[in-house]
Amino acid sequence: MSDGDTSTFQRRRLIVNADDFGLSPGVNAGIIEAHERGIVTATSLMVRWPAAESTADYARSHPRLDVGLHLDLGEWICRDGAWVPLYDVISLTDATTVTAEVDRQLSAFRRLLGRDPSHLDSHQHVHRDEPVRSIMTAVARRLRVPLRHVTPGYQYFGGFYGQNDEGQSYPELVSADAMVALLSDLPAGTTELGCHPARGRDIEAMYVDEREREVETLCDPRVRAAIAANHIDLTGF
């Protein structure tokens, strides 16, 4: 089979999914820019934050941008080598409380956008652990949408990230060169690439400065050229 063959079993599909839509005006601006000028095809909405309200009109008028639910149960940051909560919404170990909060955030999503989410995931991947995993899996099956890390047929890549586990910054990991190299090694099938673009510094978090670099990379013409050169289908969920 020739190198240029793009038959079904060889085909590579890429979903570029921007987390944290609705977190702040700056995050919203970065995601919108990376969608309109760059390669972002999907985003995951945090419904608890005031800036979520301003996403509704945009999402409704830009149907090519898939919008999923980014379940928000808390955030943790590394301080002096230990992970501590920046905020928490509920206890992650109480299944009844988790179920109620998932239902509440799903209802808020439907109120904002007037439709179900195109996919499901969670802030800082808390749904990888029980009982959140089982609860979110059941919701995904009911809605018939993919759940990150769980639904077969969707492989998740989280390596486009400019920090290590202790919060040390490595901006070269979110450079255009890094993205081009990543695209050349993209496996067959459907890959969801996570990203966190933003403009400005209007959030309190560990990951802030690197978000601006992500916008530039996601909008870099060399990245779009690499997608074409590697015969990658840029798609949504």
Catalytic sites, residue numbers: 19
Nearest to 119 by CA among 189, 71, 59, 49: 71
Residue 47: half-sphere exposure toward Cβ, Cα within 13 Å: 24
CB–CB of 161/151 below 8 Å?
no
Radius of gyration over every alpha carbon of the chain, rounded to an integer in angstroms: 17
Residue 136 CA to residue 117 CA, distance in Å, equals 13
Contacts of residue 196, defined as CB under 8 A and 6 or more positions apart, other chains included, come to: 18, 19, 20, 161, 207, 210, 211, 214
3-class secondary-structure state, position 195: strand
CB–CB of 120/136 below 8 Å?
yes
- Please state whether beta strands 82-88 and 74-79 pair in parallel, antiparallel, or not at all (unpaired): antiparallel
CB–CB of 39/233 below 8 Å?
no
Contacts of residue 63, defined as CB under 8 A and 6 or more positions apart, other chains included, come to: none
